[in-house]
Structure 1
Amino acid sequence: MTPEDRFPGPEQPDSGPRHQQDLDVLPYGSYYEPPEPAPGYGYDTGYSENTYSGYGGARFLEQHWPTVSHQSAAAPEQPSEGAPEQPAAPVPPVPPVPQQEDPPTIDLSTLGGELQELQDLHYPYPQPEPGEAPGPLYVVGDVHGYLDELLAALHQQGLIDAEGHWSAGRSRLWFLGDFTDRGPDGIGVIDLVMQLAAEAAAAGGYCRALMGNHELLFLGAARYGDEPVQSTAGTASFLAAWRLNGGQQHDLERLETHHISWLSRLPAIALEDEHLLLHSDTTAYLEYGASIPEVNDAVHHLLSDEGADEWWDCFRRFTKRFAFRGDAGPTAVHELLSAYGGRRVVHGHSPIPYLTGSAHLEDGTPPHVPGPYIYADELAIAMDGGVTMEGRLLVARLPLN
């Protein structure tokens, strides 16, 4: 019996049929990869018989973390010496999430004074009282519109209750980006994250999010539509690229001003408890600044003041991937850590089945994703479980060992 058989994790809800996910593409159907290998990084664009799982002590973490009480930051009681071990309590089943024909956008007018908390993404975050430790830290991989799966995964970790409200006290929760596209309810996902941001702040914790390349693409489609932009594949447009990469028309139709304001101010990079949080597994962040504030300010300035071509170039850079896999992957991670701090990179963007070379199984069975994937000499943690390709939507408590 394997660890995954003993600890299977939450049963995934069924949001409808999934299609085999391709990596993000630019118009005309070509995969986006750098035209030349990045110097010193051994950039590999192929999917050969090598699976990369042997590089740098790569390994999976089974998706089984005990549900704990989040109302207190106190450490759990340790059994007294010589006391018999108690069996782990079974994880309660996740109740079914009620379906809605058209989930409404949350009414921000009902949030009162908490509205500013939703809009204010600047440092510093709420600090604990003197002598009080911060709450536990969690990260969420790419969601891509799969709201039911997100609710189930958050509930299984004890972060929300059965009604979908924050129940984790002072816990800290970071989403790694890519809320929309490919799945059935991207706006519903955004609404939930905004709601949890307000509820977590009221409880003394926080819920934050990074900007992914699909946020850049979605906002670009809404702002620039079919306006031509210059790309390496020729003349393209944000709207065409968004549709090509799983854009859902009903998400665009339900996008409102407060969604745009919130998405446009998301940071691109963050540092929490020695974990450098990124959306994309790329070193392109270094092209926007030598520190975390510089990178975030540069991206925000670009989104507010620059034109479509500059916006497109930012999307193109953050669509790069796989910089941390292969023999030179640890070198790329070290360059980011040297610039921005931290001891490990935690990222989404590249589905784990692609990182491990198991995306296209000959018998057509869904890829097996037991949990987060640790690789690059254990310097990188991949969190995109490939929910869009019948993998798994991953929520994990850091640190992972």
Structure 2
Amino acid sequence: MTPEDRLPGPELPESGPRQPQDLDVLPYGSYYEPPEPPGGYGYDATYSGYGGARFLEQHWPTVSQTASGYGPEAVREPVHEYGHEAAGSDDPPTMELAQPVPPEEVHYPYPQPEPGEAPGPLYVVGDVHGYLDELLAALHQQGLIDAEGHWSAGRSRLWFLGDFTDRGPDGIGVIDLVMQLAAEAAAAGGYCRALMGNHELLFLGAARYGDEPVQSTAGTASFLAAWRLNGGQQSDLERLESHHVSWLSRLPAIALEDGHLLLHSDTTAYLEYGASLDDVNEAVHRLLADEGADEWWDAFRRFTKRFAFRGPAGAQAVHELLGAYGGHRVVHGHSPIPYLTGSTHAEDGVPPHVPGPYIYADELAVAMDGGVTMEGRLLVARLPLD
């Protein structure tokens, strides 16, 4: 099969309608975006003025979706072990990522790494937002899971960048899958880990505080109202159990892997919670365990900010984070790539074109939210990206 016979991404399974609202909003529709610089951003400058911004394009084979599976021949039973154009004609340069190597067969218990043995390859997953079938398809295409939805990547390392729920049809199913893969990967000598996104804060807040008033900068609000405003699914709230809450509450907010500073949100708000990775994660965990609704809301508000790495000052913002926490490049989710590039839905209704991860801010930042909620792509990529 030639590249011309392939699609620029896996077909999106028909798991449910996309929500029209994609960017997070707080009460009264206040978007969390930094003030626009004088003269505006100029979306056509995305490809030339954002410090060598470019897409990394991967020609993914077509993944056919049927009612009984997510792969060409897959028949899958539910896996729940824990319960239940851009503007103008200047297209960004693209390059084809290496095709994934078929994983070695896993036999449990898998031998543990020898002392000094190099770790397995590193992968990251962008925002999922409840689109379980799309996630299964993307992980299977990369060779990380088998046709039944079980870990098949040996000692590989996998990080989810947060936002498992809201907008899509099965957020709890996504959480159950990630928890299952974490156990299976550990048994295979690898690992599957996850960051806390702003929607984890929102979802947990809705479950814990409900309609209890909180003091918002836009006036009195509540977690439940904000959660519904941002695509909260009642079925997820009804299926949320204590083990989900416990697992979500312990997720780190920030991590460093192979020189990649992994974040959910493209914001410098992490600096407000500590001068080291441990400080930030301990501060967030302490807040979730002990503080009240107003403090929790303030954390959600801070981590809902976005676009700090976009525009002329973007590289400087990345340098602030790297200087504090280490690493040579930030990898984040949160802000959908079509919004970063100004290539949201065209007037004719054509979905945005998202060929792969997006590198920008003097090539110091990698965006991984492919905009699955707006008919873009659910991205899974192997690091490093060059």
Cα distance change, pair 7–224 in 1 and its aligned pair in 2 (3 A) = same
- Output the TM-score relative to the length of structure 1: 0.82
The whole-number CA distance in structure 1 between the counterparts of 2:4 and 2:132 is: 24
Cα distance change, pair 294–94 in 1 and its aligned pair in 2 (3 A) = farther
Bigger drift between 216-225 and 14-23 goes to: 14-23
1:62 aligned to 46, 50, 57, which one?
57
Alignment-derived partner of residue 47 in structure 2: 53
Query: Secondary structure of 1:229's partner?
Result: strand
Query: Secondary structure of 2:31's partner?
Result: coil
Partner amino acid for 2:321?
Answer: L
Indicate conservation of the 8 Å contact 1:136/1:170, yes or no: yes
Partner amino acid for 1:206?
Answer: Y
1:29 matches 2:14: no
Partner amino acid for 1:17?
Answer: P
TM-superposed CA distance for 1:249, in Å, is: 0.2
Cα distance change, pair 234–290 in 1 and its aligned pair in 2 (3 A) = same
Query: Secondary structure of 1:53's partner?
Result: helix
How many aligned residue pairs are there? Answer: 350
1:358 aligned to 343, 347, 357, which one?
343
The whole-number CA distance in structure 2 between the counterparts of 1:20 and 1:220 is: 23
Partner amino acid for 2:188?
Answer: A
Partner amino acid for 1:61?
Answer: L
1:345 aligned to 326, 330, 337, which one?
330
TM-superposed CA distance for 1:27, in Å, is: 1.3
The whole-number CA distance in structure 1 between the counterparts of 2:242 and 2:37 is: 39
Partner amino acid for 1:299?
Answer: V
Partner amino acid for 2:28?
Answer: Y
Cα distance change, pair 99–144 in 1 and its aligned pair in 2 (3 A) = farther
Query: Secondary structure of 1:166's partner?
Result: coil
TM-superposed CA distance for 1:93, in Å, is: 5.4
Query: Secondary structure of 2:22's partner?
Result: coil
1:183 aligned to 151, 168, 185, which one?
168
Deviations 1:176-223 (A, max 9, x none): 000000000000000000000000000000000000000000000000
The whole-number CA distance in structure 2 between the counterparts of 1:51 and 1:364 is: 24
The whole-number CA distance in structure 1 between the counterparts of 2:73 and 2:264 is: 30
Cα distance change, pair 3–328 in 1 and its aligned pair in 2 (3 A) = farther
Query: Secondary structure of 1:52's partner?
Result: helix
1:369 matches 2:354: yes
1:286 aligned to 264, 271, 278, which one?
271
1:332 aligned to 295, 317, 325, which one?
317
The whole-number CA distance in structure 1 between the counterparts of 2:245 and 2:206 is: 12
Q: Which runs of 5+ in 2 are unaligned?
A: 62-69, 85-110
The whole-number CA distance in structure 2 between the counterparts of 1:132 and 1:302 is: 37
1:231 matches 2:216: yes
Q: Which runs of 5+ in 1 are unaligned?
A: 67-91, 109-125
Partner amino acid for 2:255?
Answer: A
Alignment-derived partner of residue 17 in structure 2: 17
1:222 aligned to 194, 197, 207, which one?
207
Partner amino acid for 2:210?
Answer: G
Indicate conservation of the 8 Å contact 1:281/1:324, yes or no: yes
The whole-number CA distance in structure 2 between the counterparts of 1:185 and 1:170 is: 28
1:166 matches 2:151: yes
Partner amino acid for 2:53?
Answer: A
TM-superposed CA distance for 1:46, in Å, is: 6.3
Indicate conservation of the 8 Å contact 1:372/1:383, yes or no: yes
2:82 aligned to 98, 106, 110, which one?
106
Deviations 1:296-324 (A, max 9, x none): 00000000000000000000000000000
Question: Percent identity over the alignment?
Answer: 85
1:203 aligned to 188, 192, 203, which one?
188
Cα distance change, pair 326–95 in 1 and its aligned pair in 2 (3 A) = farther
Indicate conservation of the 8 Å contact 1:94/1:155, yes or no: no
1:305 matches 2:290: yes
Query: Secondary structure of 2:120's partner?
Result: coil
The whole-number CA distance in structure 1 between the counterparts of 2:6 and 2:60 is: 12
Bigger drift between 47-56 and 276-285 goes to: 47-56
The whole-number CA distance in structure 2 between the counterparts of 1:21 and 1:174 is: 26
Partner amino acid for 1:188?
Answer: G
Partner amino acid for 1:11?
Answer: E
Alignment-derived partner of residue 146 in structure 1: 131
Indicate the RMSD between aligned Cα atoms, in angstroms: 2.4
Query: Secondary structure of 2:353's partner?
Result: coil
The whole-number CA distance in structure 2 between the counterparts of 1:58 and 1:250 is: 39
Cα distance change, pair 237–46 in 1 and its aligned pair in 2 (3 A) = farther
Query: Secondary structure of 2:140's partner?
Result: helix
Cα distance change, pair 44–193 in 1 and its aligned pair in 2 (3 A) = farther
The whole-number CA distance in structure 1 between the counterparts of 2:222 and 2:145 is: 39
